[in-house]
């Protein structure tokens, strides 16, 4: 039987990455604490449970939970953000391709281990520009060749900047990690179609347990 709590946590991780991508592409910036938590999830390779990937705190997934609520509940004003929707759906599809490619998974694990070893050289600051660039390179070298390239929409002047490109790719990589997690805990495409209300209610319960009453019904 599907564990919707675990599935919802992983899906929130995917949604959080999708929102980060949108913010970087459209605004040139995103909440640094949210970005940090998403990047940290990439280095948790042997979690005891799903929430362990996000520092054992639902609060670290606040943005992802809000995005999931809007996506599965129709948005605050009844309008669905289809752009974010395309991002997280594409991330789930791309993570499936990665999961089916043992060589790519091995290379990914090796590259992430390298970054983990490099972190002390940068005072363990995961938001260091070089570390972000290294995450981005992993996405370009390992994930992009798998196919199903994700087209990112935003302001052209921002998308042309190397630092923004790196942030977007690093956020996409974090989304892939969450997508792999989603598949591992039993997430399926059918659930997204047939169990939307269950996913919404589980997300809402998580959100209210941390932040009190939500504005979603």
**pLDDT band at 2; cut points 50, 70, 90:** confident
Measure the N-to-C terminal CA separation of the chain; round to a whole number of Å: 26
CB-based contact 58:193 (threshold 8 Å): no
Helix 129-138, helix 162-184: angle, nearest 10: 60
Domains and CATH numbers, the chain: 4-210 (1.10.3890.10)
pLDDT, tens digit, 9 for 90 and up, residues 160-185: 999 999 999 999 999 999 999 999 99
Q: What is the pLDDT of residue 79?
A: 63
Q: What is the pLDDT of residue 78?
A: 54
pLDDT score of 216 more than 60: no
CB neighbours of 159 closer than 8 A, spacing ≥ 6? 25, 152, 165, 168
Per-residue tokens: 111:
């590259």
Average pLDDT, the chain: 93
The whole model's pTM is what? 0.94
Distance CA 56, CA 71 (A): 24
Distance CA 116, CA 109 (A): 11
Distance CA 148, CA 131 (A): 25
Distance CA 179, CA 172 (A): 10
CB-based contact 175:42 (threshold 8 Å): no
Distance CA 64, CA 20 (A): 9
């Amino acid at each position: 039987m599907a564990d919707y709590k675990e599935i919802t946590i992983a899906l929130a991780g995917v949604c959080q990455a999708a929102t980060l991508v949108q913010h970087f592409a459209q605004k040139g910036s995103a909440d640094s604490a949210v970005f940090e938590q998403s990047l940290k999830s990439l280095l948790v390779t042997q979690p005891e449970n799903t929430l362990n990937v996000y520092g054992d705190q639902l609060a670290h997934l606040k943005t992802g939970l809000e995005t999931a609520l809007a996506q599965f509940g129709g948005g605050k004003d009844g309008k669905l953000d289809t752009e974010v929707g395309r991002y997280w759906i594409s991330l789930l599809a791309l993570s499936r391709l990665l999961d089916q490619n043992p060589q790519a998974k091995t290379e990914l694990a090796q590259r992430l281990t390298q970054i983990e070893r490099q972190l002390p050289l940068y005072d363990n600051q995961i938001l260091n520009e070089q570390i972000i660039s290294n995450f981005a390179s992993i996405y370009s070298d390992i994930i992009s060749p798998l196919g199903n390239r994700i087209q990112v929409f935003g302001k052209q002047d921002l998308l042309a900047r190397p630092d923004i490109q790196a942030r977007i790719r690093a956020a996409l990589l974090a989304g892939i990690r969450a997508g792999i997690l989603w598949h591992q805990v039993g997430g399926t495409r059918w659930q997204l179609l047939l169990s939307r209300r269950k996913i919404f209610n589980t997300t809402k319960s998580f959100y209210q347990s941390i932040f009190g009453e939500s504005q979603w019904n």
